[in-house]
Structure 1
Amino acid sequence: MDVLINVFVALHIIGIASLLGGFLTQMKAMSEGTARFNHAMLHGALTMLVTGVALVGLNQADDQTVNNVKIGIKMAVLVVILALVYVKRDDERVEKPLFGAVGGLTTVNILIATIWT
């Protein structure tokens, strides 16, 4: 079971890297007002959602304790990110505050995952 959990953790990290990397590649475009949500950001957020749900299930099946409050907050933040990226994915440009919010919420999600013990 530990190997399977570690595989899903790796996939979860790949998802966050895709989401944050997609955001970071658009930073210059954001300052110019031409940023847009790319496929990497959408697929990264979806990967995080699927692997996160799988990780909760696998950890509970393995009788490990799961902090449901932490997971609930992370899930809520991710759902907001996913909704913003999904709804605006076809727009030619995304407003700076909206685009910045996705980057900020992604960073918040990473901080919750790493700092909250």
Structure 2
Amino acid sequence: MGVLIHVFVGLHIIGIASLLGGFLTQMKAMSAGTARFNPAMLHGALTMLVTGAVLVGLNQADGNTVDHLKIGVKMALLVVILGLVYVKRDEEKAEKGPFALVGALTTANIFIAVLWT
């Protein structure tokens, strides 16, 4: 079970790398007002959602303690991120506010994962 959990942690990290990488590659375009939500951001957010849910289930099945409040906060942030990226994905240009919010919430999600013990 431990190996399976580690595989899904790796997939979760790949998802967050895709989401954050998609955001970071658009930073220069954001300052110019031409940024857009790219498919990597959507797929990264979806990957994070699916692998995160699987990780919670696997950890509970393995008898590990799961902090439900932490998971709830992380999922709430991810739902907001996913909603913004999904709704705005076909627009030619993304407004600076929602685009910056996705980057800020993604960064907050990372720090919650690492610092909340």
Q: TM-score range by the shorter chain?
A: over 0.9
Give the Cα–Cα distance (whole angstroms) in 2 for the partners of residues 18 and 61 of structure 1: 28
Match of 1:24 in 2: 24
Structure 1 residue ranges (4+ consecutive) displaced by more than 4 angstroms after TM superposition:
none
Amino acid at match of 2:76: A
Task: Please give the root-mean-square deviation of Cα atoms over the aligned residues, in Å.
Answer: 0.2
Gaps of 5+ in 1: none
Q: Percent identity?
A: 77
Q: CA deviation at 1:30?
A: 0.1
Q: CA deviation at 1:79?
A: 0.2
Give the Cα–Cα distance (whole angstroms) in 1 for the partners of residues 51 and 70 of structure 2: 16
Match of 1:74 in 2: 74
Task: Report the number of matched residues.
Answer: 117
Give runs of aligned pairs for residues 33-112 of structure 1, distance below 5 A. 33-112=33-112
Gaps of 5+ in 2: none
Q: CA deviation at 1:78?
A: 0.2
Amino acid at match of 1:62: D
Instruction: Say which SS state the counterpart of residue 63 (structure 1) adopts.
Output: coil
Give the Cα–Cα distance (whole angstroms) in 2 for the partners of residues 30 and 96 of structure 1: 6
Match of 2:11 in 1: 11
Q: CA deviation at 1:61?
A: 0.2
Q: CA deviation at 1:91?
A: 0.2
Give the Cα–Cα distance (whole angstroms) in 2 for the partners of residues 64 and 96 of structure 1: 41
Q: TM-score, normalised by structure 2?
A: 1.00
Instruction: Say which SS state the counterpart of residue 110 (structure 2) adopts.
Output: helix
